[in-house]
């Protein structure tokens, strides 16, 4: 295999930037702990997924073109702490630009450099044990785009297994969607809410005190549902539990 990268570009995603900055910092801390230099392209905005999934492909294309052009100017692997946004860039950008033959090579050059956070740690850096330690009972929610879109399943599992003192709780119907689905959550609250309640029931039944995931979209939705119920179950991005107890 080629040499391990020394430096990465962080595409932090808009959700992390606006709502969960601590997740971005956790990603940075974990990567720096492993000796990786992190660069944050400050002019990044959003990958375009909200518009794309709602059908507004022209508008999504503007965001996508902008993102590709911005990232093209940088070098090295691009790390994204979200299965959903990674899938958007890797799998949907080439579809969006399939007829723009002039621009397509630039798109593919960028998509080839993109990795979801856990994928980067395990597959590229070859690390699954960081030395983290956390006293908690965690239920892992594998988001759909991570699992089915990117086929990432083992990487987060092996990272979690290697956290000292962390008890991994099994949740029923673990492959099932949580009901988020982006704008679907607001457009069809009755359906989305009904799916979410089942997920929450399964989480509660697992006796976990924490839900861990690689996607803040799912977690924001579940957190909102749990908060409404007055639940004390905590929600964490996987970077936050990997950061815990690092020396």
| Smallest gap from residue 65 Cβ to other proteins (A) | 7
Shortest spacing between CB 3 and other proteins, in angstroms: 27
Site for other proteins, residues 73 to 112, rule: CB under 8 A: 95
Give the x-and-dash track for 13-52 against other proteins (CB under 8 A): ---xxxxxxxxxx--x-----------x-xxxxx-x-xxx
User: What is the smallest separation between the CB atom of 162 and other proteins, expressed in angstroms?
Assistant: 26
Residue 224 contacts residue 19 (beta carbons within 8 Å): no
Instruction: Report the C-alpha gap between 109 and 113 in whole angstroms.
Output: 7
Of 119-127, 154-162, 163-171, 215-223, the segment contacting other proteins by CB under 8 A is 215-223
Residue 74 DSSP label? S
- Measured distance CA(196)–CA(185) in Å, rounded: 10
Q: How far is the C-alpha of 174 from the C-alpha of 139, rounded, in Å?
A: 9
Collect contacts of 181-185 with beta carbons under 8 A, ≥24 apart.
Answer: 181/53, 182/49, 182/50, 182/53, 182/54, 182/84, 182/217, 183/50, 183/53, 183/54, 184/53, 185/221
Binding mask 133-152 for other proteins (x = CB under 8 A): -----------xx--xx---
- Bridge partners (DSSP) listed for residue 172: none
Q: Which is nearer to other proteins, 70 or 104 (CB)?
A: 70
**Residues binding other proteins (CB under 8 A):** 12, 16-25, 28, 40, 42-46, 48, 50-63, 65-67, 95, 144-145, 148-149, 175-177, 179-196, 198, 220-221, 223-225, 227-228
């Amino acid at each position: 295999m080629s040499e391990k990268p020394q430096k990465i570009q962080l595409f932090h995603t808009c959700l992390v930037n606006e709502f969960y900055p601590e997740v971005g910092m956790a990603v940075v801390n974990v990567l720096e702990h492993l000796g990786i230099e992190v660069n944050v392209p400050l002019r990044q905005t959003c990958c375009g997924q909200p518009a794309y999934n709602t059908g507004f492909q022209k508008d999504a294309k503007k965001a996508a073109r902008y993102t590709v052009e911005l990232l093209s100017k940088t070098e090295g692997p691009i790390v994204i702490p979200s299965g959903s946004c990674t899938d958007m860039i890797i799998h949907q950008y080439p579809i969006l630009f399939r007829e723009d033959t002039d621009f397509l090579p630039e798109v593919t050059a960028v998509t080839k450099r993109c990795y979801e956070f856990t994928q980067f740690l395990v597959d590229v850096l070859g690390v699954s044990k960081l030395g983290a330690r956390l006293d908690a009972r965690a239920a892992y929610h594998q988001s759909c785009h991570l699992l089915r879109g990117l086929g990432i399943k083992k990487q987060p599992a092996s990272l979690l297994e290697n956290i000292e003192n962390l008890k991994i709780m099994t949740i029923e119907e673990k492959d099932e969607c949580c009901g988020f689905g982006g704008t679907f959550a607001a457009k069809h609250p009755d359906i989305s809410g009904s799916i979410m309640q089942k997920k929450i029931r399964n989480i509660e039944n697992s006796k976990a005190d924490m839900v861990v995931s690689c996607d803040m979209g799912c977690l924001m939705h579940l957190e909102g549902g749990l908060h409404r119920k007055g639940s004390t179950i905590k929600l964490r991005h996987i970077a936050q539990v990997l950061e815990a107890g690092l020396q």
